[in-house]
Structure 1
Amino acid sequence: MTGTLITVAPTGAEVDKAQWPQLPTTLEELVAEAQACEAAGAAMVHVHIRDDEHRPTLDLGRLKATVEALREQTSLVVQLSTGGSVHDSLDSRLRVLDALPDSCSLTCGSVNFGDDVFLNPWHLMSDLYVQARERQIVPEFELFDLGHVASLRRLIDTHGLPFGGRVHVDLVTGVPGGMPGTTQAVVAAVQMLPPEVTSWSATGIGRSHLPVMAAALSLGGHLRVGMEDNLMYDRGRPVAGNVELVERAARLSTEMQRPPLSTDEARTLLGTTDRRGTS
């Protein structure tokens, strides 16, 4: 495909609602933000949820309600995070799959995450891989470091291709402890990807947002943007909301003659099952 898959990550697990009131944390806010982002050019939404006090949660009832609402009120590919926050148990992260999203994140290794450790041992990766395939959920493989490419290779060699037969990777750059948010890092990671990889996107955390976006577009990759990853639109100016980040990604993609993919085109790219109307 010559277009660009734009994924929006609107909330995350790290940003404080009290400090960033424009962060969508209630179900109503999340759905409204997703609708606006779809209209602006996003085709997939990467979802973290919050509780009534705006704290990160993996409550299965809330996850199911979120998937159902997004599926009923948008056409977006719904991707649930299985990373949660760095404090969530491995078992609770596995249970995210019971909400039956279209896609799920699957991080291919542990990584220092600021002052914490984002733990992803082999048995968790393997269980997520197998259980996602059993539930017909397409994983997106999150690579925070070059060593994670080897884990992706091991998963494919051990279990075969994931559900849908496609392998979509997201390069997460700029996390303190992971690979830097530079063009050189993106190029190095892309050069190491296994031949089974059918598509990839890149995420630049914080100030690496723009250079990583430009590198991904120039190399034929796709984009992830959103307030989970970047809170500043410009130097000295906070983002007003996720929509303007999606709008900029769509504008740059179009300028590069790789306009945003529709949600149907995204499903073809990723090999997801269309569960709309089945919630």
Structure 2
Amino acid sequence: MTGLLITVAPTGAETAKDDCPQLPTTLEELVATARECEAAGARMIHVHIRDDQHRPTLDLGRLKDTVRALKESTALIVQLSTGGSVHDPLEQRLKVLDAEPDSCSLTMGTTNFGDDVFSNPWPFVTELYQQAQARGIVPEFELFDLGHVASLQRLLDRYGLPAGGRVHVDFVMGVPGGMPGTAAALVAGVHALPEQVTSWSATGIGRTTLPVMLASLSMGGHLRVGMEDVLTLAKGVPVTSNRELVDRAVGLAEMAQRQVLTAAEARLLMGLEST
């Protein structure tokens, strides 16, 4: 078994602050959450930001302030979401790279997302990838379905390796409209990964969180946890902080005899030591 990278996704773009007051939506709350989760064992943070009314935003000034504050306050790998919310226009999502994060998410295709559509047409995917290559920003390839795995192979064959030379992917499972959050689906996805892939992680949305986490740990994969993906620890037991979810992941990792990576090891895994 390899060492374990834990990514925390603390906020997302779907949950309203009024419905979940403990969700970190201000910069101060996000920085405090990042420091708590780093102390618990997280090594990368997947970031969505909110405006003064706690609504999802891709405001470039706020994104730059967020990246700067997280880098000053933690040693976490700072990964900005280029997905935003499902309603954000493609041109605004491309501009996220102007905030100069360490890493960015790069979703490998369009998928149904509950009652909405998460649009990632091929020209957008290739433009985002080439811009990330040119800027030395390391992508994490988000895979919501098996077709996205095939698209990743197509992208790598056509445009080569990303900045840093490592290929890290994340299976996002259990989204209504995407692949189910089951061990069988994860096995199929990992089996289909291109040979260029050097590491992979998985996250299960909602009630699929634990099945996906346990399957990933047993298969040597890495984990993404956080309040973007789940708001309960068990039926009827709400999450009170992102640190609770990181603590749970670390505890399960210890049971599986998986040791959490150091900050330097995490950067090596992602290919950031040479960017």
8 Å CA contact 1:46–1:78 kept in 2: the answer is yes
Q: Aligned letter for 1:176? A: P
Report matched runs for 1:94-243 at 5 Å.
Answer: 94-243=94-243
**1:2, distance to aligned residue in structure 2 (A):** 2.1
Instruction: Report the counterpart of residue 42 of structure 2 in structure 1.
Output: 42
Q: Once the 2 structures are TM-superposed, how far is the Cα of residue 234 of structure 1 from its aligned partner?
A: 1.2
Instruction: Please state how far the C-alpha of 1:274 moved relative to its aligned partner.
Output: 7.9
3-state DSSP class of the match of 2:215? Answer: helix
Aligned residues: 275
User: Normalising by the residue count of structure 2, what TM-score does the alignment of the two structures yield?
Assistant: 0.99
Matches of 2:43 and 2:67, distance apart in 1: 15
Partner of 1:259: 259
Q: Which residue of 1 aligns with 2:58?
A: 58
SS at match of 1:78: strand
Partners of 1:173 and 1:181 within 8 A in 2: yes
Question: Which SS does the other structure have where 2:96 is aligned?
Answer: helix
1:139-183 deviation line (CA, Å, top 9, x unaligned): 000000000011101110110001000000000000000000001
Which whole-Å deviations, capped at 9, do the CAs of 1:79-134 have from their partners, x for residues lacking one?
00000000000000000000010000000000000010000000111011110011
CA distance in 1, matches of 2:259, 2:236: 29
- 1:112 alignment partner AA: N
Partner Cα separation in structure 2 for residue 274 and residue 95 of structure 1: 24
- Give distance in 2, aligned partners of 1:257 and 1:268: 21
Which piece of structure 1 moves more, 23-32 or 255-264?
Answer: 255-264
RMSD of Structure 2 on Structure 1 (CA)? 1.0
> Does the 8 Å CA contact 2:164/2:274 hold for their aligned counterparts?
no
Contact map agreement 2:7 2:44 (CA 8 A) in 1: yes
Counterpart of 2:86?
86
Q: Is the 8 A contact 2:183 2:211 kept in 1?
A: yes
* Counterpart residue number, 2:28: 28
Please give the alpha-carbon distance, in whole angstroms, between the structure 2 residues aligned to 1:152 and 1:232. Answer: 32
8 Å Cα contact 1:44/1:76 also seen in 2: yes
Mapped contact 1:102–1:273 kept (Cα < 8 A): no
Which aligned runs of 4 or more in structure 1 are off by greater than 2 angstroms?
none
Q: Secondary structure at the match of 1:30?
A: helix
Supply the AA of the counterpart residue of 1:239: V
Q: Percent identity?
A: 70
TM-score of the two chains, using structure 1 as the length reference? 0.97
